[in-house]
């Protein structure tokens, strides 16, 4: 026989209202009570009726994820996979399911129409071109959204401190005696602009010339393009002594390219990465990089979005910056 919420309440010795609040993570229910209710529900085989709950609360407890990566790694890229896993864990811990929004919807529905059709309570927008009309329509709709790694006025945004991270990495290279420092950046984006500004700020502070030929466009997470850009930098009449790459994948590709060119790292050329998500790889030399706290970013994004969903009057969209930190390896060495 199906177990009802009244049966569960009787077993727990609580009111139906208290049990409902415990199952839905309301803040006025203690963690001890919540754990007791959840454990008892599992033992009794109680499952909430999703349709009834949606009719009563006008919530589906379903969050959409709009994720359109350009990188060939897609969701397998360590940065995105770690961020999404953290977001998923926090959302599920708070009683929400995730649904990925299909960018190739065959029905002809727009993103917004799809979210309304699925009765999504909110949407996380990750690695998506915010200039697209249907993306702008979605984030400007009545559905609560959180945007990761790109600030949009009057919208919740979770940002890694890209400017400070690149500033710290460039300052480290300068402290090792480097003055000819190149930056092989990724595609045009808010993240790229912030990192270029951090790089330039560190050079200006040390009265080092910012050379246009040392700021070279490449592609995020693309080893082949990284190889081309690296060779281009090394072919300059006055080549750099240190090259900072857009991410760890391209940094590792650059190190391998240097070895193929019979250059030692960091003896002949120093190389730095960004992301700090591949530092667990056994790789020589150990990569000097910037670690982005993907766990904190994902968790914070889930909390912010759920706050906007459950307490819209008490919460207003805000921008939250998550600190990045240096990981000092062996790939940037002292010079002269």
Q: Which fold has domain 162-292?
A: Rossmann fold (3.40.50)
Q: How far apart are CA 178 and CA 214, in angstroms?
A: 13
Cβ atoms of 203 and 215 closer than 8 Å: no
Per the prediction, the chain carries an average pLDDT of: 89
Q: How far apart are CA 26 and CA 9, in angstroms?
A: 16
Cβ atoms of 216 and 184 closer than 8 Å: yes
Q: How far apart are CA 216 and CA 3, in angstroms?
A: 64
The predicted model scores a pTM of 0.80
pLDDT, one tens digit per residue, over 49-90 is 544 554 445 678 999 999 887 766 777 788 888 999 999 999
pLDDT, one tens digit per residue, over 163-182 is 999 999 999 999 999 999 99
Which residue pairs from 226-229 have beta carbons closer than 8 angstroms and sit at least 24 positions apart in sequence? Answer: 226/184, 226/250, 226/251, 226/253, 226/254, 226/257, 227/253, 227/254, 227/257, 229/184
The DSSP code for 76 is: G
The DSSP code for 101 is: P
pLDDT, one tens digit per residue, over 273-294 is 999 876 556 678 999 999 999 9
Domain ranges, ordered by start, for the chain = 5-48, 62-160+294-323, 162-292
Strand 156-160 and strand 145-148: the pairing is parallel
The domains spanning 5-48 and 162-292 adopt the same CATH topology: no
What CATH class is the domain 5-48? mainly alpha
What CATH class is the domain 62-160+294-323? alpha beta
Per-residue pLDDT of the chain (336 residues; tens, 9 = 90+): 678 888 899 999 999 888 888 887 677 788 889 889 888 988 888 866 544 554 445 678 999 999 887 766 777 788 888 999 999 999 999 889 999 987 666 567 788 988 888 889 999 999 888 888 999 999 999 999 999 989 999 999 999 999 999 999 999 999 999 999 999 999 999 999 999 999 999 999 999 999 999 999 999 999 999 999 999 999 999 999 999 999 999 999 999 999 999 999 999 999 999 998 765 566 789 999 999 999 999 999 999 999 999 988 888 899 999 999 999 999 999 987
């Amino acid at each position: 026989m199906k177990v009802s919420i009244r049966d569960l309440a009787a077993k727990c010795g609580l009111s139906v209202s208290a049990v409902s609040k415990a199952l839905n993570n309301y803040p006025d229910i203690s963690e001890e009570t919540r754990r007791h209710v959840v454990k008892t529900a599992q033992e009794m085989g109680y499952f909430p009726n999703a349709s009834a709950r949606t009719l009563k609360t006008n919530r589906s407890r379903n969050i959409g994820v709009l994720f359109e990566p350009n990188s060939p790694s897609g969701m397998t890229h360590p940065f995105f996979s770690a961020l999404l896993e953290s977001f998923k864990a926090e959302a599920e811990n708070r009683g929400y399911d995730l649904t990925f929004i299909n960018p190739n919807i065959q029905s002809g529905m727009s993103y917004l129409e799809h979210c309304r059709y699925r009765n999504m309570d909110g949407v996380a927008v990750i690695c998506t071109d915010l200039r697209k009309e249907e993306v702008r329509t979605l984030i400007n709709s009545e559905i609560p959204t959180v945007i990761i790694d790109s600030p949009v006025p009057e919208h919740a945004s979770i940002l890694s401190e890209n400017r400070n991270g690149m500033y710290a990495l460039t300052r480290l290279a300068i402290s090792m005696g480097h003055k000819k420092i190149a930056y092989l950046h990724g595609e045009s984006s808010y993240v790229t602009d912030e990192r270029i500004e951090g790089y330039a700020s560190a050079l200006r502070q040390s009265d080092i010339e910012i050379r246009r030929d040392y700021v070279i466009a490449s592609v995020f997470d693309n080893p082949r393009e990284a190889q081309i850009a690296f060779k281009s930098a090394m072919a300059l009449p006055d080549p750099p002594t240190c090259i900072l790459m857009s991410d760890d994948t391209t940094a590792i590709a650059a190190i391998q390219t240097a070895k193929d060119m019979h250059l030692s790292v960091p003896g002949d050329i120093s190389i730095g990465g960004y992301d700090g998500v591949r530092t667990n790889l056994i790789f020589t030399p150990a990569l000097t990089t910037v670690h982005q706290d993907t766990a904190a970013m994902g968790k914070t994004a889930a909390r912010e979005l759920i706050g906007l969903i459950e307490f819209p009057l008490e919460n207003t969209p805000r921008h939250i910056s998550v600190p990045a930190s240096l990981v000092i390896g062996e790939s940037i060495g002292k010079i002269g």
